[in-house]
Amino acid sequence: MLAYIIRRLFYAIPILIGVNLLTFALFFMVNTPDQMARVQLGDKYVDPQAIEAWKSQRGYDKPLFLNDREGSEGLLTDTIFFDKSIRLFALDFGKSDEGRSISADIYQRMWPSLAVALPTFVIGLAVNIALALFVVMFRASLFDTAAMVACVVLMSISGVFYVFAGQYLFAKLWNLVPISGYLAGLDAAKFLILPVIIGVIGGIGSGTRLYRTLFLEEAGKDYVRTARAKGVPELTVLFRHILPNGLIPILTSVVVVIPSLFMGSLLVESFFGIPGLGSYTLDAIQAQDFAIVRSMVFLGSLLYIVGLILTDISYTLVDPRVRLS
Amino acid sequence: MKPIVKDICCKVSRGYQFVCQPGRRLIALALLASLVACSDTTLNSPHPAGEDSQKIIAYSSFSERPKHLDPVRSYSADEGVFIDQIYDPPLQYHYLKRPYELVPNTLTAMPEVVYSDINGNPVAEDSPELVYSTYVLTLKPGTYYQPHPAFATQASSEQGEDTQPRYRFASAADSAAFKTLDDFTESDTRELVAADYVYQLKRLADPANLSPIRGLLAEYIVGMNEFAEQVTAARKQLADEPRYQQTRWLNLDNYDFSGVKLLDKYRYSIQLKGKYPQFRYWLAMRFLAPVPELVDEFYHQPGLADRNITLDWHPVGSGPFMMTLNDPNEAIVLQRNPNYRDDFYPTEGEPGDAEAGLLDDAGKRLPMIDEVIFRLEKESIPLWTKFLQGYYDRSGISSDSFDQAVSIGTTGVDLSDELKQLGIKLNVEVLPVTYYFGFNMLDPIVGGQPLPDSDQPADPVAQEKARKLRQAIAIAYNEEERISIFLNGRGETAQSPIPPGIFGYQQGQDGINSYVFDWDPNIRQEGASEPGAPVRKSIEVARQLLAEAGYPDGRDAQTGEPLVLNLDTPTGGGAASAQQIWLIKQFKKLGIQLNIRGSDYNRFKEKMVTGNAQMFQWGWSADYPDAENFLFLLYSKNGQVVTGGAGVNSSNYHNPEYDRLFEQMKLMPDSPERLAIIKRMIAIYQHDAPWASGLHLHSYVLDNPWVKNTKPHGISAATLKYRKIDTDMRAELREQRNQPVLWPLILVALVILVLMIPGYRAYRQRQNYRVMDAFKRSSGAPANSSQTTDSNGGQG
């Protein structure tokens, strides 16, 4: 397995280079270093000297991809792309265009992201599985049909509506939780209740439908029929037979998401004022801070690759028939 | 605990007794609800419990994290909210007096200005031999900085007579243990001295610090460019030194700045080229606030910048407040500076201030609050909700909330009944801001001016035609309607670039733009004591001008082609599109087709810098309250194109007479002579119409009833020290406004219970279902089998 993981990690290198190259090309297609300098320096009294000084301080005074001024030695290396990209592979994100350490910011902001994403993920998973099992228990009944209609309705409603409705009801009308905000430590709990509830409710429609389908597939298999034939109670059938086997596809689809939980949610973080990595990325895009955008895209890609590797590993753990080689 | 909360607890407890029989879930839920309800704080508070029980805390918010808190770099008004409370420039604005008045801040008196000739001999202010003006500034002794680790010292010898800075690191490894500023456990203070102001001026002149006003002040301060060259050369020399590579530290005190002199411990001077009366306003801005050399050195130590321990993030000042927390992901906290000097609330203001209670605290010591907590609020709806709930002391009014907050009737602007019941107060002020719809005067159709690098002379006929076209558009563009529809009436049409409250602003009939408006003596303006108001000229006048411009009915008289004009804008979609439809209608009144060219900000800015835009919308917020700071928006040497984007004359307007008058006016003190020149400049502007229209924004700020001593100040943000909070009233009203409503939780629990009971019964029924029983029921045969059905209906 170790050889497999190492091989997969090596495969990741060209992928990450490609992602980085694409991010770089897309970003600089719409933003020149001069424009970035203007955004950072503001509108008032910004003269060409200040723009040149800003570019020079941040290394944006070099050519983008090819430096033919420096001769063959620095043709590729003395460029913005090389300067800004090579350190990423050592996870050295450098400084933002505002001059702040990106690593320090990421470390600080990943905790609020996790504080929202992790409970939403865990509780959402549990609720969706529980509801799916409940619906499976009454499958092919009127309740099943009604539940699926409800799921489709829940899926059809925009996530923003859940946010507004939740904020209006829980925070404004009933005064039960703060409408938005975040405090570090244990004080964070009261701010997380509403986004987590909304995140869970927002995911019920699609989650329950998907898991119901997976459980129904298991419920129709011979070993389940045999269990029932032996007189095993329905709850035992569900929890001892259907659930563990139905969890294999669920687990593998879920594991890939786990590393990405660090990256936060743009929607929830933005509306609830949670200072996580989702809003960090959004702010950087708006501020045209290439250093942060590049770092976050790189980190996202890296975590996704890690997620895929973890998925492969999890296959071997939950299904003994699978072996990595 | 307040009685009303007790009552809720009792109700919940009774509810618990009542529901204990049906099920454990409901019991648990009710128990949780009762526990929550018995808490001694409101449930929806975004602040930690008991945070303001011991201190007087003001609560505010911010929507974007400040980019820069270094006074040499920071220029945004949003950043000023924080650092203008921390840094102490030499001058400040009087809090209450209007028009705005400068008064000493850390100085003993207003700066003494000495005029001299080329040899340094004193000359009169109006002498033609005047070459330099020198500002001599004298500090009050006894002003101290906030406690900070940069000032901490330790004995440098065993005898302990000499001291050296406590925190000095040879390498990044040495400083590795200091992850945040809080890890520096020792701190101290130091007296504010003139050398600190001198050092900050050197920092401002150093190009490495990227001060936005370096270029502008270098035109005036003697020796600034030479100093910049010196330090740039020195930095280049040091570039390969390992220590410099780690720290980027250069002691600027080692380099001479000829225009800035340290006279003694409390006195320093700044020498300017010629006269620049507006320089006194720069002395009230953060750029010229003091930064000691040892603070600069402290932050330039190896490894600190990598952990975001920089002056740009952790300001150090001698002002009324100090920043104790800078976590813009969550909150920014300003605490009272324990070393703050003697400073007192003003004892006089303008008429009406005493009646408004603004002089109730006259002569009292400042600041009047212990702490200000700014919390991150990105969205307007949560911000508004928290203000109404009492968790923020003050709020602006977003468009979403305007109708809920304000009603505009025949009697003028008034608060809604809902807000009146909450005791909220409204502060309205005209901001020293001008937004305008401009023409690019270099454009051949709407401008007609020759390009700056062109040898061709201007064509007077084409220029006159373009002028009439601009005048026609100026009449058709109904700014009053725009303000009413899109700004909820929060603004007024600009008759000139100068907003109300600034010397040179003209009210009444004298002030109107007679090319666009007529004066109707029978109409009374809102809030005016005398009847009379400007009335926009009829569209027929505009059409006549358009025909004279060569475009009768919006078509080229020679070719018959429709006239198509382009508006370049950095916006698009959403609310902007409604405005764009409105804009198209304005031009359609004249038969002109308006083409709106939306692009991102970068493209828009590029078009402006290269002079490729035809029409555009722009705005200007005053640096200081002087007509010069607005009239220079049309001074030709400030043209965007000629300055490569650095200039503020976005229209690239060029009128030699206007330029001459501007150069004359900017050197004059406010006087009848200056006013006459300003009037002439405005007349030129109105005749030439480089802007189709303009507006001055009104600021609407709401105060909760416990907030005192708030008077909007359009120029200065350093007003927190005057604010007063009645914390008892706040606590009481907060509790009244935020009583938790618990019945929905109980209802949800009941609904779940109601749903579960039949579900459970159905499950039991299904578990106990026997095929033979069913068979017996249908056929009448006795049941003797225990076979069950599977849930698909098949037999097992």
Contact check, Cβ <8 Å, A174/B740: yes
pTM of the model: 0.84
DSSP state of B704: -
Strand partners, B158: none
Q: How confident is the model at residue B54 (pLDDT cuts 50, 70, 90)?
A: confident
Q: CA-CA distance, B321 to B335, in Å (whole number)?
A: 5
CA distance B135 to chain A (A): 24
Tell me whether A59 touches chain B (CB under 8 Å).
no
Strand partners, B693: B437
Nearest CB to B767: which of A101, A179, A234? A234
- Which range, B20-34, B279-293, B476-490, B781-795, is most confident? B279-293
Per-residue pLDDT reduced to its tens digit, B268-309: 999 999 999 999 999 999 999 999 999 999 999 999 988 889
Does residue B364 sit in helix, strand or coil? coil
Cβ-Cβ contacts under 8 Å, B762 against chain A: 138, 143
Per-residue pLDDT reduced to its tens digit, B538-553: 999 999 999 999 999 9
Q: Which helix (H) or strand (E) holds B116?
A: strand B112-116
Tell me whether A167 touches chain B (CB under 8 Å).
yes
B474 with B693: CB under 8 angstroms?
Answer: yes
Q: Which helix (H) or strand (E) holds A12?
A: helix A2-30
Beta strands B724-725 and B707-708, pairing class:
antiparallel
User: Chain-wide mean pLDDT for chain B?
Assistant: 87
**pLDDT value of position B85:** 97
- Which of A201-205, B440-444, B573-577 shows the lowest mean pLDDT across its residues? B573-577
Nearest CB to B645: which of A46, A164, A171? A46
B56 with B371: CB under 8 angstroms?
Answer: yes
List C-alpha distances in Å: A40 to A200, A286, A289.
39, 11, 8
Tell me whether A283 touches chain B (CB under 8 Å).
yes
Task: Supply the ipTM of this predicted assembly.
Answer: 0.82
H helices present in B123-221, as ranges: 194-205, 214-218
**pLDDT value of position B536:** 95
Question: Per this entry, what is the length of chain A?
Answer: 325
Q: CA-CA distance, B450 to B459, in Å (whole number)?
A: 8
Percent pLDDT > 90 in chain B is 65
Q: CA-CA distance, A300 to A263, in Å (whole number)?
A: 7
Question: Looking at chain A, which residue has its C-alpha nearest residue B205?
Answer: A50
B473 with B438: CB under 8 angstroms?
Answer: no
Residue B39 has pLDDT above 60, yes or no: no
* Amino acid of residue B273: K
Tell me whether B324 touches chain A (CB under 8 Å).
no
pLDDT one digit per residue (tens) for chain A, 325 residues = 788 888 888 888 899 889 888 888 888 877 788 888 877 777 677 777 788 888 888 888 888 877 776 555 667 777 888 877 777 888 888 888 777 888 888 888 888 989 999 999 999 999 999 999 989 988 888 888 999 999 999 999 988 899 999 999 999 999 999 999 988 888 889 999 999 999 999 999 999 999 999 999 998 899 999 998 888 888 888 888 998 888 888 887 788 788 777 776 778 888 888 888 888 888 888 777 888 988 999 998 998 888 888 888 888 887 777 777 6
What is the mean pLDDT of the segment spanning B224-239? 94
Question: Looking at chain B, which residue has its C-alpha nearest residue A134?
Answer: B759
Question: Looking at chain A, which residue has its C-alpha nearest residue B63?
Answer: A273
- Identify which of B719, B607, B16, B764 has the alpha carbon closest to the alpha carbon of residue B346: B719
Per-residue pLDDT reduced to its tens digit, B187-225: 999 999 999 999 999 999 999 999 989 988 999 999 999
More confident residue, A26 or B226: B226
